[in-house]
Structure 1
Amino acid sequence: MTDEAFWQLIGRAVEQPGDRDERAEWLTEELTRLPRAQVVDFATRLAAVRCRADTPALAAAARLIHAGQCSEDAFRSFQLWLLTLGRDRFDTVVADPDALADLPEVQALAARPVREWSAQDWPEWESLDYAAHEAWAEGGGGEYGLEQELPGGSGTVSAQAPVPVELPRLAALFGG
Structure 2
Amino acid sequence: MDKAEFWTLLERSAEETTDPDHRLTWLTHHLSRLSPEHIADFQLGLEAARRPIDTYAMWGAANQILDGLCSSDTFWYFQPWLIGQGQRFARNPDNLADLPAVRVLAGRGHENWSDAEWPQWEALDYVAADAYERVTGRRDGLHEALKARGHRVYADPEPNDQPWNSDSLTEIAQRLPRLARLFPRRQHVTP
- If the length of structure 1 is used for normalisation, what is the TM-score? 0.89
Correspondence list, 1:87-98, <5 A:
87-88=87-88, 90=89, 93-94=90-91, 96-98=92-94
What does residue 96 of structure 2 align with?
A: 100
TM-align CA RMSD: 2.0
Alpha-carbon distance between aligned partners in 2 of 1:11 and 1:56, rounded to the nearest angstrom: 26
Work out whether residues 6 and 45 of structure 1, in 8 Å CA contact, stay in contact via their aligned partners in 2.
yes
Measured after TM superposition, the shift of residue 139 of structure 1 is 0.9
- Please list the CA deviations of residues 61-106 of structure 1 after superposition, one character each: whole Å capped at 9, or x if unmatched: 1111111111222212211111222212x2xx22x11001122321
The size of the alignment, in residue pairs, is 171
Pairing 1:144–2:145 present: no
Worse-superposed segment, 107-116 or 1-10: 107-116
Alpha-carbon distance between aligned partners in 2 of 1:107 and 1:63, rounded to the nearest angstrom: 15
What does residue 84 of structure 1 align with?
A: 84
2:129 to 129, 133, 141: 133
Taking CA–CA contacts closer than 8 Å with sequence separation of 6 or more, which of the two structures ends up with the larger relative contact order? 1
Pairing 1:167–2:163 present: no
Worse-superposed segment, 55-64 or 110-119: 110-119
SS of the counterpart of 1:109?
A: coil
More helix by share: 1
What does residue 67 of structure 1 align with?
A: 67
1:119 to 103, 115, 126: 115
What does residue 35 of structure 1 align with?
A: 35
Measured after TM superposition, the shift of residue 153 of structure 1 is 2.7
Contiguous gaps of at least 5 residues in structure 1? none
- Please list the CA deviations of residues 112-155 of structure 1 after superposition, one character each: whole Å capped at 9, or x if unmatched: 11111111111111211111000111112511121122210345
| 1:162 partner letter | N
SS of the counterpart of 2:127?
A: helix
Alpha-carbon distance between aligned partners in 2 of 1:125 and 1:112, rounded to the nearest angstrom: 20
| 2:122 partner letter | E
What does residue 189 of structure 2 align with?
A: none
Worse-superposed segment, 114-123 or 101-110: 101-110
State the percentage of identical aligned residues.
41
- If the length of structure 2 is used for normalisation, what is the TM-score? 0.82
Work out whether residues 59 and 157 of structure 1, in 8 Å CA contact, stay in contact via their aligned partners in 2.
no
| 1:102 partner letter | D
Worse-superposed segment, 124-133 or 137-146: 137-146
The runs of at least 4 consecutive aligned structure 1 residues that moved more than 4 Å come to none
Measured after TM superposition, the shift of residue 162 of structure 1 is 3.4
Work out whether residues 28 and 131 of structure 1, in 8 Å CA contact, stay in contact via their aligned partners in 2.
yes
